[in-house]
Structure 1
Amino acid sequence: MKIQPIETRSPRIEMLPLIDVVFLLLVVFIYAMLSMAVHKGLPVALPTSSSAELDRTAPVSITVTAGGDIFVDKVPVALADLTALLRQRTEAERETGVLLFADRNLPYQTLFRVLDEVRRAGLTRISLQAESERTP
């Protein structure tokens, strides 16, 4: 009795599942990188706006909490010292933009005092930050 040899096919790698896995990893890494965007403001409850967009090009970030505390790039600053600090930080370029994160419960007058100090420092590109409204 003669035994017939079993036909063996050469091994091959299926490319479609491999492409799916690589694409999934690419999407995960892109999403992870976007979620790690630099945000220099402190966490405050921002007001909402239907046309809100976050300006990520401004290098100076000012945060004003509901209690009236002022932070420049997470460093506490007194209102009286704000103009001098901003002039010092932006003396090389006067076209520097400012991101202003103000708590929604902040008194209006306090916000305008901060805005006045920013303008006294010679900065005119001020962007008030807000969260996007969620429409049902």
Structure 2
Amino acid sequence: MKLNRIKRRNGNSLILELTPLIDVVFLLLIFFLVATTFEDVDSSIKIDLPTSTVKSTKAVDELQVIVTKEREYFISYKEKGKNKREKTSAKELKNALAQKLMESQDKNVIISADKSVSHGVIVDVMTASKEAGANSLDIDTASPGK
């Protein structure tokens, strides 16, 4: 593409310089790329429970509440390096958790429930855990194929 020279009245020709124009366009492009926020695809919640492909990177030493199909409640914990498990009832769960959470450092509770247990039972366990003093709750899931 040939640029036509524009003749001025005084006889000098005027050439349109494209280099500064291209610089400005690239600066605007970079500004808009940096200023744009992108949606984080990995932050979506997966509802396909109880299996999960996410693997835990740390050993489980936290307090764990186990709920069976028959709605039996167990509290599993480590004491002096040994795994211990105590059976409890739904009514006594909050008090038993409060006692164990007082001895725990990180105040984390892992909920492991059978997939046939209703959602309401899991919510009741979560409520009891929070009322007992848990700082964080985790729901245990199995890896696919197990």
Q: Normalised by the shorter chain, which TM-score bucket?
A: 0.5 to 0.7
User: How far, CA to CA, are the matches of 2:104 and 2:134 in structure 1?
Assistant: 10
1:65 aligns with 2:68: yes
Return the alpha-carbon distance in structure 1 between the equivalents of residues 55 and 135 of structure 2. Answer: 19
Q: What is the root-mean-square deviation of aligned Cα atoms in Å?
A: 2.1
Q: 1:56 to 1:98 in 2, by over 3 A?
A: farther
Indicate how the Cα distance of structure 1 residues 53 and 92 shifts in structure 2: closer, same or farther if over 3 A, else same. Answer: closer
Unpaired runs of 5+ residues, structure 1, are: 1-45
The aligned residue for residue 129 of structure 1 is: 140
The TM-score, its normalising length taken from structure 2, stands at 0.53
Larger radius of gyration: 2
Work out the percentage of aligned pairs sharing the same amino acid: 19
Q: Which structure's relative contact order is higher, taking Cα pairs within 8 Å and 6+ residues apart?
A: 1
- Cα-to-partner distance string for 1:3-61 (whole Å, 9 max, x where unaligned): xxxxxxxxxxxxxxxxxxxxxxxxxxxxxxxxxxxxxxxxxxx8211325375244311
User: Contact 1:94–1:123 (CA<8 Å) still a contact in 2?
Assistant: no
Give 1 or 2: higher strand fraction.
2
Change (3 A) 1:107 1:86: same
Q: Cα–Cα, structure 1 residues 54 and 78, in superposed 2: closer, same or farther, change >3 Å?
A: farther
Length-normalised TM-score, structure 1: 0.57
Unaligned runs of 5+ in 2: 1-48, 77-84
Corresponding residue pairs, total: 89
